[in-house]
Amino acid sequence: MAGTDTSGGWRFGRSLSGRLLLLTVLFALAAQLAIYAPIVAAQHQDLLLSRIAAAQTAVLALEETQNNQVSPRLREELLANAGVKAVALKRDEARLLFLADDMPGPVTKVYDLRNHGFFTAIGDALECLWGDGIRIVRIIDTPRLGGGQFIEVIAEEQPIRAALAAFAWRTLFIGLAIAMATGALVFLALNLALVRPIRRLIRSMTAFREAPESADRVLVPSGRRDEIGDAEEALAAMQGQVRQSLTQSAHLAAMGAAVAKINHDLRNMLGGAQLASERLEVSRDPAVRLMAPRLIRTLDRAIALATDTLTYGKAGERAPLPDTIPLHALVQEAAAAAGALDRPPVRFENAVPAELTVWADGEQLYRILLNLLRNAAQAIESCEKPAGLTVSAACTPAGATIDVADEGPGIPNAMLPHLFQPFGGAGKVAGTGLGLAIARELARNHGGEIALLRTGPQGTIFRLQLPAREGVRRAL
């Protein structure tokens, strides 16, 4: 993960946990700021309304006195409690004025709360906070409980600004505390629900990478029934499959190394046996002469099996070196090497036009045809009755199509699903199980393909498709 450093620790600022906490706090602060200005504006309006309410109470108390006369001390106390310097109330077509002895300077700001919109209230609150508090304000509103047509007061802004600033700072600190607490709680919850399980997955992947063949490095799912649980199940299944594949590959590599070591001696032994068996053909014993060809063919198949096994076990085929190849001559050569020309049960026909050429690697195309023809000849031989084997071809703008058709017994249904897999056809009579796998790999190296067109009691047809010259270049 990006949050890990070279020492194996976690850099808080770059880890998923640190980013999660930071984003949670930022989002909580953003939510607080979104409502901060309206909250401060509402408090500013409440401060103005509180002065209107207190002033209305003072005026009503004055109205109950005789001739609206009170002592200067009581008037000062009433106005001081209301936080205003002057009050004017219009009631019953009469206007009652209540003034302090020390009136402030001229009014510089008017707040008409009877028509105070949302954005106007926000602007007034911000203006009050940013100001210096030396203004004299006039506040107008409708008296409560139907106490008159309107009431207006004159007050100094400094106490209002001081109270509003204290509220604003207090609200800001509370918002920060809420954001931090929310961030911490969300961080802890998500850390337990997501981050820690993800770290467990990372530790499992890291440990498995170091020793994928070890069974104890495979993750044991926790049994969760959510997306993390699904990820654990998928990772455990993948690790099990990888471990199984590596184990199988190791076994195959060991087997391949063993086969490579004994191949030289095995081929020498088989070659010696083949030379010795050829002398049996001149034996005076008719039974021995009859068995000699069959013994020779068996030795040929054993040598072919060893050769094919080593050929398929190579690290990989080289890239094809395509050229213009006369197909008729190449087919004839491959048929001779496959034993299709000198086997009495096989009636071979080279139906490829003499002038037809293909763009391919001659050596690799020869090996493809050799495998197809050898399999077909062996299938016909297993019938112990004469049957035809025909190779035909045609060229189109898309490329060349080569069909290898035999009149043998067909391929058993049990072999069809694994026909092109290594050793997939090893159960057939006299087969190595590698010919078709090698042929398909070589064809695909050319950008082509081998497919089974049909098979059955009437015979089998394989089709080799090779792309045109430009197609081969793109495949390379």
CATH number at residue 426: 3.30.565.10
Residue 457 domain-assigned (yes or no):
yes
Average pLDDT rounded to a whole number, residues 295-318: 64
pLDDT digits (tens, 9 = 90+) for 228-257: 888 888 888 888 888 888 877 777 777 666
Inform me whether the pLDDT recorded for 84 exceeds 90. Answer: no
Higher pLDDT, 9 or 401: 401
pLDDT digits (tens, 9 = 90+) for 189-201: 877 887 788 888 8
Confidence of residue 133 (pLDDT cuts 50, 70, 90): confident
CA atoms within 13 A on the CB side of 419: 19
Average pLDDT of the segment spanning 38-57: 88
Which distant-in-sequence residues (6+ apart) come within 8 Å of 1 by Cβ?
15, 16, 202
Rounded percentage of the chain residues whose pLDDT exceeds 70: 74
The per-residue pLDDT for 6 is: 40
Residue 35 lies in a domain: yes
In a domain, 95, yes or no: yes
Total domain count for the chain?
2
Q: Residues 265, 269, 270, 275: is their CA dihedral positive or negative?
A: positive
At which of 128, 160, 181 does a domain end?
181
Residue 230 domain-assigned (yes or no): no
Inform me whether the pLDDT recorded for 25 exceeds 90. Answer: no
Q: Of 152, 181, 210, which residue constitutes the final position of a domain?
A: 181
CA distance 105 to 148: 27
Question: Does position 300 have pLDDT exceeding 90, yes or no?
Answer: no
Does pLDDT of 412 surpass 80? yes
Q: What's the chain's average pLDDT?
A: 79
418 falls within a domain: yes
**Is 302 part of a structural domain of the chain?**
no
Looking at 181, 202, 221, the residue that finishes a domain is 181
Hey, what's the torsion of the CAs at 28, 32, 34, 37, to 10 degrees? -170
Confidence of residue 9 (pLDDT cuts 50, 70, 90): very low
Compute φ and ψ for 396, nearest 5 degrees: -130, 170
What is the pLDDT confidence band of residue 378, given thresholds at 50, 70 and 90? Answer: confident
CA separation for the pair 468, 396 (Å, rounded): 8
> Which two three-digit tokens encode residue 115?
């028509």
- pTM of the predicted model over 0.95: no
Write out the two tokens for 332. Answer: 């004839």
Do 330 and 354 touch, CB atoms closer than 8 A?
no
Question: If pLDDT is split at 50, 70 and 90, which confidence band does 352 have?
Answer: very high
Kindly report which listed range (146-155, 246-255, 445-454, 465-474) carries the lowest average pLDDT score: 465-474
Least confident range of 117-131, 253-267, 397-411: 253-267
Q: Which residue has the higher pLDDT, 191 or 369?
A: 369
pLDDT of residue 274: 64
Question: Can you read off the two tokens belonging to residue 38?
Answer: 């309206």
Percent above pLDDT 90 for the chain: 18
Q: Which domain holds residue 26?
A: 16-181
pLDDT reading at 394 higher than 90: yes
Cα(381)–Cα(340) distance, integer angstroms: 10
Residue 356: pLDDT above 90? yes
Parallel/antiparallel/unpaired status of strands 387-396 and 357-360: unpaired
Mean pLDDT of 361-371: 91
Residue 305 lies in a domain: no
Q: Are 350 and 296 in contact (CB under 8 A)?
A: no
The answer to whether residue 300 sits within a structural domain is no
Residue 359: per-residue pLDDT: 92
Give residue 443's pLDDT: 92
**Radius of gyration of the chain from its Cα atoms, rounded to whole angstroms:** 49
Is the pLDDT at 431 greater than 50, yes or no?
no
What does the pLDDT average to over 23-28?
78
pLDDT in tens, 143-173: 877 667 788 888 888 999 999 999 999 988 8
pLDDT of 181 reads 84
pLDDT digits (tens, 9 = 90+) for 273-285: 666 666 666 666 7
Please, which residues have CB within 8 angstroms of residue 400's CB and are 6 or more apart in sequence? 327, 356, 358, 359, 360, 393, 394, 465, 466, 468
Task: Determine the pLDDT at residue 475.
Answer: 44
Q: How long, in residues, is the chain? A: 476
Confidence band (pLDDT; 50, 70, 90) for 64?
low
Query: Which residues are CB-neighbours of 443 under 8 A, at least 6 positions away?
Result: 368, 449, 450, 464, 465, 466
